[in-house]
Chain A
Amino acid sequence: MNLGLMLDALVVLPSGVGLTLTLTVLSLTAGFLVSVPLAFMRAFGRPGLSLAVLSYTYVIRGTPMLVQLFLLYYGLSQIAAVRASIFWVILRDPFWCALLTFSLNSAAHTTEILCRGLQSVPKGVTEAATSLGLKRFQIARLVTFPIAFRISLPAYGNEVVGMIKGSSLASTVTLLEITGMARQMVSTTFAPYEIFIVAGAIYLSLTSIAVKATQLLERWLSTDGNRVHRRKARLRPALPDPEITTPLP
């Protein structure tokens, strides 16, 4: 163990944190936005529509993200039409390829997570909302989705952690995020131990923060909290009896 090298790594590697976080946050955001309508289609859509969404999530979740990344980064250039189109400016850039891959992945995972949440919303709640005269979109926006989101939050936390870890694949298409920086440093210093351990520690702190943040969000959104929450509870729908809504194991 060379402590000096570890200190060097501790100085150099954090400059890759920015790219890691950019990739993670952007792909999680894009994935979430895409997955909300997809999850509704998957959970409540007509059988054909549900099956179409399932085939998307199944293929994406059944193949390694590395293959998808290489398929987009190297594979698309084989199609002449893609190279001629205006999208080529974006698709030949490793950053956008990585971002696109991660977003597609995150969308597929989040769709399945939210779908399971939507399906475990008790029927009585939606029936009550219907009997109150709410329209279908209102029910989805005000009743079903908030409850489903709370049910899915623990699983979504895992997805956030998975995305932080998955963003390390960007180093395989020449991007210099934390892993990319570490690999570059290793190739010049030939000290794999020190540098990869420091990189691992940085990832560990990032994922720990993500885990803590989801736990805080869970507590903040839970309706049986302290007085502040009870005062605001009027504004948001209360979670039904936890007996009914325990997420699937």
Chain B
Amino acid sequence: MGGFTTQFVVALIVTISLALVSGCLGTAFGLFLAISKGTAQPRLNSVVTAYTTVVRGVPELLIILLIYFGGTTLASKIAGRYVEVNAFTAGVIALSVVFSGYATEVFRGAIAAVPAGQTEAAKSLGLNAWQRWMFVIGPQMLRLALPAYGNLWISLFKDTALVSIVGLTDIMRVAYVGAGSLRAPLTFYLAASALYLSLTTVTLLSIRLAERRYPALGR
């Protein structure tokens, strides 16, 4: 493995930051879409449904390829000269889009699972819409969404490997380069698997901890 250890460490940081940035962006966007889907008019509702259907029905790899190569073409057209979209940026955008598509459905399901009586009770107490979300529906909804939401994070960590195909030097890419240059594919891919497995294990454990700390109310 030789000098590849430091490269793997850097790649691990790249993978983790890619996942964290796109996961947080995806969560924010998904939460926004889920809330607007629940409250707004039917037209916006169907737009959100179309978005989640398309995102969840198209391979992640294709979305990454579309945003990386398509984004480069678009940026070049706008700038009037050749501009290459950074693989990290393209990866963040693509993975946020994917994450938000799934997160919207998870949050929407969780919002629907909060009993209607809770909203009615909050209204009768005189809370306004913002207070209702912050203090009544939000906390209950997040607890209900936690298990499914955790699974999304695990898939996200696995999906980051796909961004290596457009040239991001993440764990997968370092393994690919190392396997080629030292002619030891088995060693390098096993090392990459071990790294990914430890990432997903850490994610799984932290979700379990969060689930224990914040169990769904009334169950």
Contact = CB atoms under 8 A, between A and B. Distances in A.
Interface of A: 59, 62-68, 70-71, 74-79, 161, 164-169, 171-172, 179, 182-183, 186, 190-193, 196-197, 199-200, 203-204, 207-208, 211, 249
Given A249-B113, A249-B148, A179 B186 contact: no
Nearest to B203: A62
B185 A78 contact: yes
A44 B109 CA distance: 31
Interface string B42-81: 0000000000011011111111011001101110000000
16 contacts: A62-B196, A64-B158, A65-B158, A68-B193, A71-B186, A71-B189, A75-B185, A78-B186, A79-B186, A186-B69, A192-B69, A197-B66, A203-B57, A204-B57, A204-B58, A249-B109
Given A66-B164, A74-B179, A166-B59, 10 more contacts: A62-B196, A63-B197, A71-B186, A164-B59, A165-B60, A168-B62, A182-B65, A190-B73, A196-B66, A196-B70
A11 B184 CA distance: 41
B73 A165 contact: no
Contacts of A200: 54, 58, 62-63, 66
A66 to B, nearest CB: 5
Contact of B61 (A68, A74, A171, A191): A171
A199 B62 CA distance: 8
B54 A67 contact: no
Contacts of A199: 62
Most buried by A among B69, B159, B164: B69
A64 B57 contact: no
B140 to A, nearest CB: 13
A193 B54 CA distance: 16
B193 A172 contact: no
A3 B172 CA distance: 36
B141 interface: no
B193 A71 contact: yes
B161 interface: yes
Interface string B156-171: 0011111011000000
Is the contact region of chain B dominated by helix, strand, or loop, or is it mixed?
A: helix
A223 B193 CA distance: 44
Contact of B184 (A78, A182, A207): A78
Given A78-B184, A204-B54, A249-B148, A63 B196 contact: yes
Sorted nearest first, the 4 A-B pairs with minimum C-beta distance are A192-B69, A64-B161, A168-B59, A74-B185
B36 interface: no
A147 B201 CA distance: 32
B165 A172 contact: yes
Contact of B62 (A59, A64, A71, A203): A203
Contacts of B186: 71, 75-76, 78-79
A179 B64 CA distance: 12
